[in-house]
Structure 1
Amino acid sequence: MDIITAVIYIVLFIIMMVFVFSIGMLKQYMPKREVLLVLAVAFLIGSIGGAFFLEPIYEELPNMASIVERNMPNNEESLYLDLSSSVDTDSLREELSSMEGFKSFDETSISIPMWNFNQKEHDYFDSIVGNINTHYKNYNVTSDKINIELEDNFTASEALKSFSDWYKLVYGETISYAQIQAVLVVDSSQLDNFEQALLNKGIVASSVDGPIQDSINNTNSSMLSNVEFTLVCGCVGVIVALIGIYMDSVVPAYRRFKKFMNTKRKR
């Protein structure tokens, strides 16, 4: 949200509170039993104003809190990507590396979907996968998937090809699909640009780790829920209405207090 829009929303909420205050000041012209109705209306107006005008600004607080982290030198963010094997990772790496703030792009592992293994099939794959290629850093066989960690400088396409070649030799069929896990490290100040570049290719990071994300997470953990925030705004409307209702009593009391303090100072 831009600053101008935020200012407009705040001004509109203030105008609503002025209206609530004005309603409160009409207390002297209404029966006492109508005061509760005024407070109920004030709560409703405050809640509506908070939900429509202040809540969008409130939701931007995590991003605002991360501004400092975005501009700190040497801060880095790690974006964890889940890519289809149909994605040309070499082309993606080349495009990302040409952008300002690029640090590194590493393909860390692949996940090969299989069928639901029975115990015998599971044990077989669990014992044989590590022998297919020496560049498999580690691997894990689940009930329907094989996860393979890659050594440095060993690409996902090479890993998938070596597994597919072995699979064709043993089963007479090919494996043509896998999910690639990759880690993109970028300068914190350029995070938005990289996220947009990925989004343009239909890629969204499964998670982000770094100072910016830590700041956003910490802020989110301390924030009220949307319902709680709306209720607080409703309470603000009630407080403003009460100030309007008792304005005739508050102002004289304030003047007497101010006069008392001035007299005390002169002594």
Structure 2
Amino acid sequence: MGTLAAILMIVLFFVLMVFVFSIALLTPLIGKRNLLFVVFLGFTVGVIGGAFFISPIMDDIPDMARAVYQFTDDSPEVISVDVSTNTNVTQFIKTTKSIEGVKSVESSGITIKTDAFSDTWKNIIMGRASSINSNVTSISIPSNNTLILQVKENSDPQTVINSLDEWLMFVGGINVKYSTVHVSVNVDASQVDSVVSKLPQDQIVITGIKGPVEDKINYLNSVLPKKSNVVLVCGFLGMLVGLAGVFIDTIMEGLRRTMNKFRRKEG
């Protein structure tokens, strides 16, 4: 739903409230005894308007807010991407850096899946990883078929994987089944959607987007009321509008008296 559609929905809801108010103004003709009818009518019309016109807008509020936040926040967002090494990772990083709005592209880690190996080989790999390739800064082995590597900034992850692949096969006869490079793409907040649309979706998996804008959206989602509560509030609003129409003369008279008191005090 676009912004114009949302505005139209709100306008239609207010039209319903005007209808309720107009019916309530007829109470001098239909009698005060029908006050219960006006209250019921106001609540029913409010619930219907809330369900059909206001509730659907709730789904679009985060996207509307995101558009506003993206153009008012200068802090970069970080798009986390997993790239299979079946893809040319080096070329992917180079191409991504050239996309408008991208500030930097960094490899934040590598996951390598292998054939199962013994605890002895686990210790050997842990001790030799940094000497196999000097770009490896740390390694963890959560299971006997998974290696998780951290590498130096601006190093070529594909080269790191190739050197480990060759060493594992040549020295230990351990076959690498597949590997994934975790890439962080730092992007201008206003360009996130554009950058995401230009990434090769068939070659990568976007695992998340983090940054000030996403933090604000997450907070907004946490405080937004449930649709059912919104519908009930609209129903009670319809009741209040109906009561305002019934007692409009009394309300106006009270306002006039209040204004007269202020004028006397000022005089």
Same fold (TM over 0.5): yes
Q: In the TM superposition, what whole-angstrom CA distance separates every residue of 1:55-80 from its partner, at most 9, and x where no partner exists?
A: 2453345315514544x3xx322222
**Structure 1 position 50 matched with structure 2 position 62:** no
CA distance in 2, matches of 1:166, 1:44: 69
User: 1:34: how far off?
Assistant: 2.9
- Give the aligned partner of residue 121 of structure 2: 124
Q: In the TM superposition, what whole-angstrom CA distance separates every residue of 1:199-223 from its partner, at most 9, and x where no partner exists?
A: 6556453223333333333433443
Q: In the TM superposition, what whole-angstrom CA distance separates every residue of 1:114-171 from its partner, at most 9, and x where no partner exists?
A: 4677xxx346314424414233211111135221112234322222222322332355
Please state whether the residue corresponding to 1:92 is helix, strand or coil: helix
Q: How many residues are matched?
A: 259
User: 1:99: how far off?
Assistant: 2.3
The answer to whether the 8 A contact 2:112-2:180 is kept is yes
Which stretch has the larger CA shift, 127-136 or 182-191? 127-136
CA distance in 1, matches of 2:222, 2:77: 20
Matches within 5 A, 1:92-131: 92-114=92-114, 121-122=118-119, 124-131=121-128
CA distance in 2, matches of 1:97, 1:198: 11
Which stretch has the larger CA shift, 31-40 or 236-245? 31-40
Amino acid at match of 2:142: T
Across the aligned residues of Structure 1 and Structure 2, the Cα RMSD in angstroms comes to 3.1
Please state whether the residue corresponding to 2:199 is helix, strand or coil: helix
TM-score by length of 2: 0.79
Matches within 5 A, 1:139-154: 139-143=139-143, 144-154=145-155
TM-score by length of 1: 0.79
CA distance in 2, matches of 1:67, 1:106: 22
User: 1:184: how far off?
Assistant: 1.1
Matches within 5 A, 1:64-103: 64-70=67-73, 72=74, 75-103=75-103
User: 1:41: how far off?
Assistant: 0.8
Percent identity over paired residues: 25
Please state whether the residue corresponding to 1:224 is helix, strand or coil: coil
Which stretch has the larger CA shift, 191-200 or 218-227? 218-227
CA distance in 2, matches of 1:203, 1:247: 63
Amino acid at match of 1:191: V
Q: 1:104 to 1:19 in 2, by over 3 A?
A: same
Please state whether the residue corresponding to 1:13 is helix, strand or coil: helix
- Give the aligned partner of residue 168 of structure 2: 167
The answer to whether the 8 A contact 1:21-1:241 is kept is yes
